[in-house]
Amino acid sequence: MKIINPFYAALMVVGLVFALTTCAYTVMTSRKLDPLLADEPGLTQVMEHHGVKILGGELAILAVLTFAAIGTDDFWTRRHEAAKRSSGN
């Protein structure tokens, strides 16, 4: 069985959250164009007040996880090869 780099799994989760947040921010931006929907409570207000900070934080986490995944890829590859050799496959 191939050993999977756990940073790739974390990247998938954070990437999905980032994509959803980006969609929410885009919806908020388009809804702000309609004056009747401009003061709508809930997610729209959260994204209006904190959207840029949330997106920036998620982008920073994505950057750290990307560097961690790339930096540890050799470690996980060597670990997989060692496990393969010890099991005799």
Give residue 1's pLDDT: 64
- Pair 66, 11: CB distance under 8 Å: yes
Q: Which pTM was predicted?
A: 0.79
Residue with tokens 């959803």: 20
- Pair 5, 76: CB distance under 8 Å: yes
Supply 56's token pair.
């920036």
For 42: left if phi > 0, alpha if psi spans -120 to 50, otherwise beta; the answer is left
In angstroms, what is the C-alpha Rg of the chain?
Answer: 20
Q: What is the pLDDT of residues 53-69, one digit of tens each?
A: 999 999 999 999 999 99
Task: Report if residue 1 sits inside a domain.
Answer: no
Q: What is the pLDDT of residues 13-55, one digit of tens each?
A: 999 999 999 999 998 888 777 777 667 777 888 888 899 999 9
Domain of 83 in residue numbering reads as: 6-87
Give residue 38's pLDDT: 62
How many structural domains compose the chain? Answer: 1
